[in-house]
């Protein structure tokens, strides 16, 4: 993984000092809250429902065990002993004190971490594939490009006061695990016919009030021009993005209102000049950064699964964990292990300090001291020997991190909701927990199979509900928590926005409604057909019918 | 308003003149883009300097051909969150090679000072009673920049590999 | 009886507080200063919004009652404000220690604490 050099260290150290001074000026009253707010946001510090909230950047979700231990220590020392992993691969602390935040940032800087630009109207954490570097089908390692973009976007003088936040994702494999088509800029790594690496560039994806799928602005951008092309897009957005209405200020609205053709012309015209202006990096820097993302010291192992198969047979729960949570690895004898942070009844994406420390130790022993955070709010050990999977799983299971539910209905992606967030209209975590309890039977979950369920507590859609096979949106109806159900969303390369099925359900009704949807699916599916395929084949009709007409019929 | 240039408060020789007002002789006048477009020849022939104030939705392209005749360009931050002037300044300084004064007016905050300088601003209308020492510290707060901009300062990647920035 | 109280977050640590009597901000909602008449409400608003030790001040509507032997009880009307006043419903460990007994989690669908339906 990337290692800071003296410049990087100096950068974060100075940032800490600058913020320390800004906090002091705030506490003394020299800065008003109005003046301080954009400054604290650019250091990831929100004012939330119960307290401040600090969002720490985990660049493209990659962590060393040392960094994970530091995150645990911060949770223990400065917070209430836990943290929340987010849908953008970051971590959030819910109870920091403003007066402690300079010290927290200093602790983070000591392990090459920061909270720069995790909020505010600037370029946010660049996300990438949690299987980067190990997926057998990968075209190129998305982390290399995410790191280059991360540096370029840090305290960019021209683009720090954009119309609105700006999110970039990079994906490097045919199967997209980054929701790339729902980002302001999505970069899909491709190879040209001549074998060169480049990007298909998408703009204008997003969720929130007006969900949109990104449009291709350029089919193939040679890799050497990545930064100048990004600057061209950002400059056009900075100048023309709407600033009159917060809800129409993202680039997706600019794409929608201007049209992709005209926007492309503007960007290309700008880029024609920009690529001559010394923005792009020399080969030496591309090679230097790429050099950090080399393979770990793999052993040459036979691709023999016998031990694994025996263990799966002996221990059905382990067997399920392998089936659900373990993914193929490019190197024979190795596997990718997903660690679910969605135990039944927990808060999705949360981990205690003790669990974080334990995971750090496990990473050291089983996965070369590194791990990743997925945007589905789970953790990933990317380089585990197949022969070690059973031992690893047993240790995970001991600390409630062995739930075999990856990609299944209880692997719920959820924002913190009204329990924590002042923007929310309704609570999300209790709904997630009740759904998990309803579907707690693991055999039933396996029978249902792959099904993504996303919950957002408000239209800002931090739970990505539009992109879930089943999406739940919390709304406030006459002072009560109600929940709107959407179906058919998809976050991968077949990106789709879920459609609302009908009137919202009360808090008491929503779990039954989800169960009705699932039962309907089970009744109408073809053999082996996953939920999303059944939905695409049959549309909303059978589900609407089951939810609304049959109920009325029963009531009549 | 106090005018900050090169870290010091200095006298302001420029006078902002409304579209419908006469411009006195020998006044260094700053006019709107509309007036510049209507009266450019007249304004250039005067015995005194002339400057142009761009609204932040007006493109520097509009004056790009005349920059040799323009002594100052006023750009504006109607609220500090509106960052369009950063792009305008960088275009003027970096793309068009403008050598005159680029002035930040409007809601100009100390914590944006370094960003503004990097984009090519070299004059700042700041609030009364501003803490100059504090402004100085803010300007120095970041030693290393990850990207090239309009100020010709080497980006980190240039320092790493000993490259020359193209301005 | 519906009244108004002022709430904010403490500047130093972000903790939710309520404007009490004597210009002090308190963590205990039952100790909040109540305002009923329009002029009192306006005054409360100004005092809250100009306070220097807190941020994000605003007024909320609440019910106030005084059941016998229990002292005054203030209960925000909206469930959002109740969650804010008493703590996240999913982490009872982080709830304020002063959660009043009258707060029955099973009482209604919009009660602050749900022990799981």
How does pLDDT run across A336-352, given as a tens digit for each residue? 999 999 999 899 999 99
Domain assignment present for residue A136? The answer is no
pLDDT tens per residue, chain A (556 residues)? 999 999 999 999 999 999 999 999 999 999 999 889 988 998 999 999 999 999 999 999 999 999 999 999 999 999 999 999 999 999 999 999 999 999 999 999 999 999 999 999 999 999 999 999 999 999 999 999 999 999 999 999 999 999 999 999 999 999 999 999 999 999 999 999 999 999 999 999 999 999 999 999 999 999 999 999 999 999 999 999 999 999 999 999 999 999 999 999 999 999 999 999 999 999 999 999 999 999 999 999 998 889 999 999 999 999 999 999 999 999 999 999 999 999 998 999 999 999 999 999 999 999 999 999 999 999 999 999 999 999 999 999 999 999 999 999 999 999 999 999 999 999 999 999 999 999 999 999 999 999 999 999 999 999 999 999 999 999 999 889 999 999 999 999 999 999 999 999 999 999 999 999 999 999 999 999 999 999 999 999 999 999 998 665 555 4
**Domain residues for A378?**
306-398
Domain assignment present for residue C100? The answer is no
Interface-testing mutation among C94, C97, C107, C115, with chain A (most A C-beta atoms within 10 A): C94
Q: What is the pLDDT of residue C94?
A: 76
Domain assignment present for residue B161? The answer is no
For the residues of C5-34, what is the DSSP string, one character each?
A: EEEEEETTT--EEEE-GGG-EES-GGGPPP
Task: Domain count for chain A, please give it.
Answer: 4
Q: Of A26, A99, A429, which has the smallest distance from its Cβ to C13's Cβ?
A: A99
Written as six digits, the tokens of A552 are 């009325």
Domain assignment present for residue A486? The answer is yes
Residues A509 and A431 placed together within one structural domain of the fold: yes
So what's the ipTM on this one?
0.96
B86 touches chain A (CB under 8 A): yes
Q: How far apart are CA A210 and CA A241, in angstroms?
A: 15
Scanning A416-482, the segments in alpha helix (DSSP H) are 429-438, 442-448
Strand order through the sheet with A370-373: A62-64, A370-373, A379-385, A334-339, A326-328
Q: How far apart are CA A71 and CA A120, in angstroms?
A: 22
Smallest CA–CA distance, residue A288 to chain B, in Å, is 10
Written as six digits, the tokens of A124 are 């946010």
Domain assignment present for residue B110? The answer is yes
Identify the residue whose tokens are 């906090």: A23
Q: How far apart are CA C113 and CA C87, in angstroms?
A: 9
Domain assignment present for residue B148? The answer is no
Domain assignment present for residue A147? The answer is yes
Residues A341 and A314 placed together within one structural domain of the fold: yes
pLDDT-based confidence at C67, cuts 50/70/90?
confident
Cβ contact B159–A235 (<8 Å): no
Q: How far apart are CA A49 and CA C89, in angstroms?
A: 12
Domain assignment present for residue C108? The answer is no
A97 touches chain C (CB under 8 A): yes
Domain assignment present for residue A505? The answer is yes
Interface-testing mutation among A34, A40, A49, A103, with chain C (most C C-beta atoms within 10 A): A49
State yes or no: pLDDT of B164 exceeds 70.
no
Contact call for B and A: 3+ CB–CB distances under 8 Å: yes
Domain assignment present for residue B149? The answer is no
Contact indicator for A359, A338 with CB cutoff of 8 Å: no
Cβ contact C83–A49 (<8 Å): yes
Which residue from C minimizes the CA distance to A100? C13
Residues A275 and A376 placed together within one structural domain of the fold: no
Contact indicator for A148, A166 with CB cutoff of 8 Å: no
Domain assignment present for residue B167? The answer is no
Rg of chain A's alpha carbons, rounded to an integer? 23
CATH of the domain at A59: 3.90.480.20
Task: Domain count for chain C, please give it.
Answer: 1
Domain assignment present for residue C38? The answer is yes
Q: What is the pLDDT of residue C106?
A: 33
Domain assignment present for residue C90? The answer is no
Domain assignment present for residue A423? The answer is yes
Partners of chain B (3+ Cβ pairs below 8 A): A
Residues A239 and A179 placed together within one structural domain of the fold: yes
Which residue from A minimizes the CA distance to B93? A277
Smallest CA–CA distance, residue C95 to chain A, in Å, is 10
Cβ contact A97–C77 (<8 Å): no
Domain assignment present for residue A130? The answer is no
Which residue from B minimizes the CA distance to A42? B111
**Domain residues for C63?**
2-85
Cβ contact A285–B161 (<8 Å): yes
Domain assignment present for residue B158? The answer is no
Could you read off the pLDDT of A299-312 as tens digits, one per residue?
Answer: 999 988 899 999 99
Decide: helix, strand or coil at residue A344: coil
Q: What is the pLDDT of residue A154?
A: 97
- Which residues make Cβ contacts (< 8 Å) with residue C38, sequence separation at least 6? none
Interface-testing mutation among A158, A235, A277, with chain B (most B C-beta atoms within 10 A): A158
pLDDT-based confidence at C66, cuts 50/70/90?
confident
Residues A277 and A312 placed together within one structural domain of the fold: no
Q: Of A52, A420, A507, which has the smallest distance from its Cβ to C88's Cβ?
A: A420
A48 touches chain C (CB under 8 A): yes
Written as six digits, the tokens of A81 are 């002993």
Q: What is the pLDDT of residue B163?
A: 55
Domain assignment present for residue A299? The answer is no
Smallest CA–CA distance, residue B26 to chain A, in Å, is 35
Cα angle, residue A435 at apex, residues A429 and A437 outer, rounded to 5°: 105
Instruction: Give the global pTM.
Output: 0.95
Q: What is the pLDDT of residue B1?
A: 85
Q: Chain C residues within 8 A (CB-CB) of chain A?
A: 9, 11-16, 52, 55-56, 77-80, 83-84, 87-91, 93-94, 109-110, 114, 116-117
Domain assignment present for residue A123? The answer is no
- Which residues make Cβ contacts (< 8 Å) with residue A159, sequence separation at least 6? A122, A123, A153, A166, A234, A235, A238, B83, B86
**Domain residues for B106?**
3-142
Partners of chain A (3+ Cβ pairs below 8 A): B, C
Contact indicator for A463, A87 with CB cutoff of 8 Å: yes
Residues A157 and A241 placed together within one structural domain of the fold: yes
Cβ contact A288–B145 (<8 Å): no
Domain assignment present for residue B52? The answer is yes
List the single range of A56-65, A382-391, C26-35, C107-116 with lowest mean pLDDT: C107-116
Contact call for C and B: 3+ CB–CB distances under 8 Å: no
A99 touches chain C (CB under 8 A): yes
CATH of the domain at B23: 3.20.20.70
Q: What is the pLDDT of residue C111?
A: 34
Which residue from B minimizes the CA distance to A276? B166
Which residue from A minimizes the CA distance to C10? A51
Scanning A196-295, the segments in alpha helix (DSSP H) are 226-240, 251-258, 260-274, 283-290
Beta strand ranges found along B34-118 (DSSP E): 50-53, 72-77, 101-106
Contact call for A and C: 3+ CB–CB distances under 8 Å: yes
pLDDT-based confidence at C108, cuts 50/70/90?
very low
What are A336's strand-pairing partners? A327
CATH of the domain at A285: 3.30.413.10
Mean pLDDT confidence for C29-38? 95
Residues A351 and A257 placed together within one structural domain of the fold: no
Domain assignment present for residue B100? The answer is yes
Q: What is the pLDDT of residue A21?
A: 93
State yes or no: pLDDT of C105 exceeds 90.
no
Smallest CA–CA distance, residue A505 to chain B, in Å, is 39
Cβ contact A479–C84 (<8 Å): no
State yes or no: pLDDT of B57 exceeds 80.
yes
């Amino acid at each position: 993984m990337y290692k800071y050099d003296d410049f990087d260290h100096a950068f974060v150290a100075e940032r800490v000092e600058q913020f320390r001074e800004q906090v002091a000026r705030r506490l003394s009253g020299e800065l008003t809250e109005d003046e301080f707010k954009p400054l604290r946001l650019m250091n990831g510090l929100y004012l939330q429902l119960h307290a401040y909230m600090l969002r720490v950047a985990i660049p493209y979700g990659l962590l060393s065990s040392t960094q994970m231990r530091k995150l645990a220590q911060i949770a223990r020392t400065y917070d209430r002993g836990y943290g929340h992993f987010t849908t953008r691969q970051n971590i959030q602390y819910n109870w920091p004190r403003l007066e402690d935040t300079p010290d927290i940032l200093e602790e983070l800087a000591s392990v090459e971490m920061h909270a720069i630009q995790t909020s505010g109207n600037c370029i946010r954490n660049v996300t990438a594939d949690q299987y980067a570097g190990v997926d057998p089908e990968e075209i190129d390692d998305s982390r290399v490009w995410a790191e280059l973009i991360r540096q370029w976007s840090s305290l960019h003088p021209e683009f720090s006061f954009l119309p609105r936040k700006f999110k970039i994702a990079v994906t490097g494999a045919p199967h997209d695990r980054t929701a790339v088509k729902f980002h302001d800029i999505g970069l899909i790594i491709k190879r040209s016919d001549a074998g060169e690496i480049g990007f298909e560039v998408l703009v204008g994806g997003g969720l929130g009030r007006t969900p949109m799928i990104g449009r291709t602005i350029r089919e193939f951008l040679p890799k050497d021009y990545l930064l100048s092309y990004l600057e061209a897009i950002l400059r056009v957005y900075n100048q023309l993005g709407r600033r009159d209405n917060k809800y129409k200020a993202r680039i997706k609205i600019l794409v929608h209102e201007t049209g992709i053709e005209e926007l492309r012309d503007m960007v290309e015209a700008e880029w024609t000049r920009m690529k001559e202006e010394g923005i792009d990096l020399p080969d030496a820097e591309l090679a230097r950064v790429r050099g950090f993302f080399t393979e770990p010291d793999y052993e040459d192992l036979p691709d023999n699964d016998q031990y694994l198969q025996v263990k799966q047979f002996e221990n059905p729960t382990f067997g399920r964990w392998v089936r659900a949570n373990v993914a193929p690895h490019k190197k024979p004898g190795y596997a990718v292990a997903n660690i679910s942070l969605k135990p039944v009844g927990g808060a999705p994406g949360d981990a205690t300090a003790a669990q974080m420390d334990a995971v750090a130790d496990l990473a050291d022993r089983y996965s070369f001291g590194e791990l990743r955070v997925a945007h589905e709010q789970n953790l990933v050990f990317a380089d585990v020997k197949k022969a070690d999977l059973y031992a690893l799983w047993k240790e995970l299971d001991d600390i409630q991190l062995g739930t075999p539910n990856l990609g299944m209905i209880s692997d719920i992606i959820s924002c913190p909701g009204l329990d924590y967030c002042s923007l929310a209209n309704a609570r999300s975590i209790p709904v997630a927990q009740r759904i998990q309890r309803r579907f707690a039977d693991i055999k039933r979950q396996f029978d249902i199979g792959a099904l993504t369920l996303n919950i957002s507590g408000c239209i800002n859609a931090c739970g990505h509900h539009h992109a879930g096979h089943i999406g739940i949106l919390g709304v406030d109806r006459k002072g009560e928590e109600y929940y709107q159900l959407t179906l058919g969303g998809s976050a991968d390369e077949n990106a789709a926005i879920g459609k609302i099925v009908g009137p919202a359900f009360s808090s008491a009704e929503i779990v039954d409604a989800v169960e009705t949807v699932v039962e309907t699916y089970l009744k109408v599916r073809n053999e082996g057909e996953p939920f999303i395929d059944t939905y695409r084949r049959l549309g909303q009709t059978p589900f609407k019918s089951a939810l609304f007409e049959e109920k009325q019929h029963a009531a009549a | 308003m106090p005018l900050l240039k090169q870290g010091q408060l200095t006298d302001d020789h420029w006078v902002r003149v409304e579209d419908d007002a006469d411009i006195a002789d020998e006044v260094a006048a700053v006019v709107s883009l509309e007036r510049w477009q209507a009266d450019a020849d007249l304004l250039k022939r005067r015995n005194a300097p002339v400057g142009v104030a761009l609204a932040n939705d007006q493109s520097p392209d509009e004056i790009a051909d005349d920059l040799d005749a323009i002594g100052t360009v006023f750009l504006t931050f109607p609220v500090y969150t509106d960052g369009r002037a950063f792009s305008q300044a960088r275009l003027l300084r970096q793309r068009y090679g403008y050598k005159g004064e680029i002035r930040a007016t409007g809601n100009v905050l100390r914590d944006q000072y370094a960003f503004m300088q990097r984009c090519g601003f070299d004059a700042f209308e700041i609030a009364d009673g501003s803490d100059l020492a504090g402004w100085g510290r803010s300007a120095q707060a970041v030693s290393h920049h990850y990207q090239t901009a309009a100020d010709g300062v080497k980006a980190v990647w240039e320092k790493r590999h000993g490259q020359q920035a193209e301005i | 009886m519906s009244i108004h109280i002022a709430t904010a977050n403490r500047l130093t640590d972000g903790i939710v507080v309520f404007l009490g009597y004597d210009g002090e901000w308190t963590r205990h909602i039952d100790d909040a200063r109540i305002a009923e008449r329009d002029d009192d409400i306006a005054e409360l608003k100004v005092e809250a919004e100009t306070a220097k030790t807190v941020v994000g001040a605003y007024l909320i509507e609440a019910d106030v009652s005084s059941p016998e032997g229990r002292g005054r009880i203030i209960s925000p009307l909206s469930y959002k404000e109740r969650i804010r006043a008493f703590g996240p419903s999913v982490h009872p460990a982080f709830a304020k220690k002063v959660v009043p007994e009258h707060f029955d989690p099973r009482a209604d669908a919009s009660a602050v604490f749900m022990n799981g339906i």
